[in-house]
Structures are given as structure tokens and as C-alpha cells.
Amino acid sequence: MCLHAPVLSLSGRNTMNPFSLEGKVALVTGAGRGLGQGIARALAQAGADIVGVVNTSRSTQTRDEIETLGRQYDEIQADLSQTSSAAQVVAQASAFHGHIDILVNNSGIIKRNDSLAYTEEEWDLVVDLNLKSVFFLCQAFARQVISQGTPAKIINIASMLSYKGGFRVPSYTASKSGVKGITMSLANEWAGKGINVNAIAPGYMATDNTENLREDPVRAAEILGRIPAGRWGSADDIGGAAVFLASRASDYVHGFTIAVDGGWLAR
């Protein structure tokens, strides 16, 4: 007899591992690279099948990694800056498996410019993708899981600039402050409907969005000097927090933004 056999509840669910995502389907925006790819990989390692949303078809690496883990990977190409995409993306994602359980709002862009010179086009490009699309994807996802009658998890990707003002990125700061805010707002409305809404605020990560900063020796030294962990973060550093917020382990966590920042906010 195996003394370590998993204990099953009356529903047959494995109660030994509250972090297991077996049988779950996760919709991850921006899954083709960077933080989105790292989050998708971590969720798949925990047992979830992945539906990745990309602007262009360039997620061959993501597909290979997910399928190597023995999980299914499906892909949707969509322009998330268009509000009309939200309902279509959620409907298509749920159709792959007949249900959808986890939403990760990761897609985002940044435009750097002096505030005196910032244009309306720059503002709208950032806010439409980073904030407006996040809300409407959350809305479409919530409608879907409520119709399914199943519990669900939403993970929004915030930023250090959800807490700070930043420099030469007014629209990005506004959008990421907004992400933190709507995470709390939606949690207030949807916790009683079985939907957990939380967020992750990545610290300074070695991604495309921070390439300019990392190439600036002065700014790079300033940033690194403030990180107690002594290094820039990587996509893999976000995975544990994502699995926690996507799993039953976080069932009593609502409306909170977890900073994964190497201690930057504590300095």
C-alpha cells in the first residue's frame, strides 16, 4: 500500500496539493514572450492547459515549451487595444475546452516621452491596451465563468508604477495605477460570485519594456542599487506568484496586488 497516495474529496479533487491546476484552462495575454511566456510556462507546470493571446504569430517557443510539459497550447491572434476583441477572445478561448478558469491580463506597452511633449496618440495607445482592455477582458471573462457556474481566478499585471510616479511615462503610470485600482474594485463586486481578482506588480524585469533603461548606464545603476536582491528580475520570477493566485491556495485572497520586485519597494 502506498502511504503517500493523494487524498481525494467527495468530488474526486486532489486535496493534497492546493497549488495544483490540473483540469484548469488559463487564458494568458501576451503569452508569446517575456513575462507572459514565463507565466504561461509556470501555470502549465502546475497542470493547466494554456490559451495564449498574441498580436502576431510568434509564440512557437511558448507552444513548444507548453507541449513539452504535456499540456495543450492553443493560440488566438487579436488586437487587444480594440474593445470589441474582448468578448471574441474569451468566447474562442472557452470553446477550445468547453470552459475557462483563469485569466492573466499581461499584455501591455510603454511609451517614453517628456510630459510637456506627450501626445494624445501616445496616451491612447498605452491606456487603451494597458487599462481599458484589461477591464473589458475581465468583464467578458466574468460573464463567461458566471454562466459556467464555476469558480475562477483573474490575475492582472500591475507595475512598480502602480505605487510610484515614474519618469517620462505618464500614460504608463496612469494605466498601471488604474490596474491596481480596478483590481480592488472588481474584487469588491465579484468575490461573492466565486471570482478572485488579484494582481502582480513585477519589479524591474529584464524584458523588452526595460531595454532602454538597462542600456542607460546611469539609470541602470540607480535601479540596481535599490534592489536588495542585487539583480534584475526574470520572467521565471513571476511564476510562483501566478500559480499561487491561480490556484485554490489563494481562495481567500481578494483585491490584493503582490509585489514581486526583489525588495525594491522595501528599500
List residues with catalytic annotation: 172
Question: What separation in angstroms does the CA of 16 have from each of 9, 19, 20, 60, 129?
Answer: 10, 9, 9, 34, 39
What cell does 144 get?
463567461
- Eight-state DSSP code of residue 131: I
The amino acid at residue 18 is P
User: 48 φ, ψ to 5°?
Assistant: -85, 150
- Where are any strands of DSSP class E within the chain? 25-29, 49-54, 73-77, 102-105, 152-157, 195-202, 257-260
Neighbours of 38 (CB within 10 A): 26
Identify the three-state secondary structure at position 199. strand
Query: How much of the chain is helix, strand and coil, in % rounded to 5?
Result: 45, 15, 35
Tell which residue, 50, 54, 43, 52, has the closest CA to residue 21. 43
Q: Apex CA 56: angle with CA 54 and CA 58, to 5°? A: 85
What cell does 223 get?
535601479
